Structure 1
Amino acid sequence: MPFPKPFGSMDGATHLTQFAIAQTEKLAAAIESYEYKKIPVPEHLTAGINQLSTHLQTFQPGYDIPLVFNTGDDPKEIMHNNLELAWYLSANVYFHNRLLNIFDNDLRPTVEDILECLRRAEEIKMKLQPDLLCRDLPVTFPAFVASCNAIDRRPWKYFWRSLQQYDCPNISAQWGVVKEIWEFLDDFRAVGAKNLSWVDLMQVSETMPFRLSDLHESVGV
């Protein structure tokens, strides 16, 4: 049974980032409907991709925002900065995956940056909220999207395993889907299906506990 809201915590996600994720999926779904019917994609949808690309470039967080906690800094601010950047970067990855068909190697630096942001945020949160039972649930949408594009999966395995301490069904479900996607990709690529992506798998698999549409529905836009 699909989880209605598989990606819970929205901490750090700005309204503009949420809009970008939702708009990415809306454009992709509209374009796919035309392609399925073998009808030319209208120009306004192509223009929408360009507009969304400009939107993503316009509202990116400043390069000078502090991401590493130092003595005297406000830990909550540093944690928020890392989460905001992780969300923004994941919106970019999702945009490239869904609308530009760009995956994996071409996004490697961004995927690695997302992991570092999420790690720092979790480290700060553990210091602010040492009692696990009272700790806020982690942000996982960026982790899910980035993991599906990861070339080096080892650090992501460690990160997802560390999140299992929260004993949250949605987090466990996401980690299960990530592992299933990795396994499918490895199997298909071993027989030469190198163009298959995690997006393709999420659209056709009947075993996933949630749907591709849940990714953008969960941001609440």
Structure 2
Amino acid sequence: MPMNSPFGSLDGATHLTLFAITQTDKLAEAIERYELLKAPLPERFIAGIDSLSSHLQTFRPDDDIPLFLDSGLGAQEIIHNNLEVAWYLSACIYFHNRINNSFVDDVSFAVNAILMCLLRAEEIKAQLEPDFMYRDYPVTFPAFVASCNAIDRYPWACWWLTIQGYGIRDVRSQWRVIQRLWELIDVTHEPGEVDFSWLEIMQGPHRLPLSAVFETLGFYY
């Protein structure tokens, strides 16, 4: 898998969503380079940010996309629809985090919607196949991004603990990192401390490329 692609299973991710996520990475890394140089961001990158923002608004899933089994569609199609919505919303959150430096409170609706979609997808998968060994791998990139922005972490902790049943090494790595991020975010939010985002914590003072951090932490298959 290319290192500028999201980690984990790509089930349900459209080409346009993957494009948005990889473009967000490229633009964010350009912004970080110019900030370190204390130089103005060239116009082509500003135009790229505007274009990507418009892109995210235009390819959103239909508001009436069927997400429940009682819609008359097959179970696999409902799973796909839920994952498609989760991917799209995670691309929007990722853009807000990396480009707009906007976190948690500003993206809470999308965080909760992703949780509902991923819960439905896993519930239907469990109905179709009780044994984790024979199910399709879980989609974790949207879950990771949403968990890093979650106000109510308990349902996310339950979701991550449940999918440990798949016994997948990179899923275990992601869950360990999320728990550590939550701890560090809480510490930095205490009075008198510097308030760091999950991105700042992961990238460190040298602002390492996030894809390289993900690779080092074992998030890729």
Instruction: Provide TM-score, normalisation by structure 1.
Output: 0.90
Q: Which stretches of structure 1, 4 residues or longer, exceed 6 Å deviation after superposition? A: 3-6, 215-219
Identity %: 54
1:190 counterpart SS class: coil
Q: Which letter maps to 1:151? A: I
Aligned residue number for residue 135 of structure 1: 135
Q: CA deviation at 1:5?
A: 8.7
**Root mean square deviation of aligned Cα:** 2.5
Structure number with higher relative contact order (C-alpha < 8 Å, ≥ 6 residues apart): 1
The answer (yes or no) to whether the contact 1:147–1:153 under 8 Å persists in 2 is yes
The answer (yes or no) to whether the contact 2:6–2:18 under 8 Å persists in 1 is no
- Which ranges of structure 1 fall in alignment gaps of 5 or more residues? none
Aligned residue number for residue 196 of structure 1: 196
Aligned residue number for residue 69 of structure 1: 69
Instruction: Indicate the larger mover: 42-51 or 5-14.
Output: 5-14
Q: Which letter maps to 1:213? A: S
Q: Distance in 1 between matches of 2:102 and 2:53?
A: 14
Q: 1:179 to 1:88 in 2, by over 3 A?
A: same
Q: 1:193 to 1:21 in 2, by over 3 A?
A: farther
Tell me if 1:52 matches 2:52: yes
Q: CA deviation at 1:131?
A: 2.3
Q: Distance in 2 between matches of 1:76 and 1:126?
A: 12
Q: Distance in 1 between matches of 2:214 and 2:131?
A: 31
The answer (yes or no) to whether the contact 1:21–1:94 under 8 Å persists in 2 is yes
Aligned residue number for residue 28 of structure 2: 28
Aligned residue number for residue 213 of structure 1: 211
Instruction: Provide TM-score, normalisation by structure 2.
Output: 0.90
2:70 counterpart SS class: coil
Q: Distance in 2 between matches of 1:88 and 1:133?
A: 27
Q: Distance in 2 between matches of 1:204 and 1:67?
A: 39
Q: Distance in 2 between matches of 1:121 and 1:211?
A: 31
Aligned residue number for residue 175 of structure 2: 175
2:82 counterpart SS class: helix
How many pairs are equivalent?
214
Q: CA deviation at 1:99?
A: 0.1
The answer (yes or no) to whether the contact 1:6–1:214 under 8 Å persists in 2 is no
